[in-house]
Amino acid sequence: MLKPKLLQKGDTIGVISPASPSFKRSDVRRGMDTLKQWGYKVVLSKNLNKRKGFVAGTDEERAEDFNEMFSRIDIDAVFVTQGGYGSARMLRYIDFNIIQKNPKIFLGFSDITSLHLAILKKTGLITFHGPGMSRYNPEELTDYTKNHLFKAIASTEPIGEIPLADEKKWINTINPGVAEGIITGGNLTLICSTLGTPYEIETDGKILFIEELETEPWIIDHMLTHLLNAGKLDKVAGIIVGECVNCTPRQHNPGYYVDMSLEDILFEFIKPLKVPSIHGLPIGHTKDMATIPLGVRAKLDAAKKKLTIIEASVKE
């Protein structure tokens, strides 16, 4: 695995928009101000937040920004403005040789899952499933999110345990047991979209984490079926499901009942796998969000409801 250098005060962060443009123009300005207050320099990509329908510029323009930020020696880390939609559309224009020759921190989540999995598959670079720059302001960025971001990208010590952010919340054990292995995953929709492509997720012997937002249980059933039929759950070492905010049945009448809960679906698919598995960690589209490095070793103790990142994700 390739490890990027840790982020230090005075370093320069390049910002790109590989998916959708920011809805609020102020998100970028506020994020820049926050990063500068933290002691970093900021460089915006030349095509940042362009608008072409629901994506931030053409596929070629967004990939050009991505390739440039990885190739520039004056850029120490690459952050995204936000997710949304469209990252997978630019994968064919990415120069993975540039990434391999210039490993650096890459941070984002949601639609950015496409890029994380492609980079891991093609280069072995550890990347970070964590908050986009639209959250870098006092209204959006909680202490939990900030602290866990810097534990991941600014320290050569392993992150350690990923705790609950709110003691009133609950982690549900689906299957007890202990698993250790490389951690991989991201947004479930985007994981499924890699299947049958050169960027297809690798799950054998790995700890898989998944998360979703505002997705009905029957659709999650559909996507877990896709993973199951593709053999991606056959040899998985363990499974972690994030909070999955607002993943509940809606008023909808497609001609069959859709009243199963998310937990019903998770137990139906994951329980028979008999691998350590939990549901409820603050990963993904949550107010309090843990940053997860993809490609490092982790330990899951499902009976104790603990995920521990046991390998450092960055180097000096």
What's the rounded Cα separation, in Å, for the pair 125 and 97? 11
Question: φ, ψ for residue 111 (rounded to 5)?
Answer: -60, -20
226 is catalytic: no
Residues 6+ apart with CB under 8 A from 52: 58
The amino acid sitting at 284 is G
285 is catalytic: yes
- Per the residue annotation, which of 45, 110, 277, 313 is the catalytic one? 110
Whole-Å CA distances, 113 to 164, 234, 293: 22, 22, 12
110 is catalytic: yes
Of the candidates 222, 217, 214, 189, the residue with the CA atom closest to the CA atom of residue 85? 189
Cβ atoms 155, 314 nearer than 8 A: yes
Largest CA distance in the chain: 59
Question: φ, ψ for residue 139 (rounded to 5)?
Answer: -75, -35
- Per the residue annotation, which of 211, 212, 216, 243 is the catalytic one? 211
Give the distance, in angstroms, between the CA of residue 114 and the centroid of all CA atoms in the same chain.
Answer: 9
- Per the residue annotation, which of 116, 148, 279, 285 is the catalytic one? 285
Active site residues: 110, 211, 285
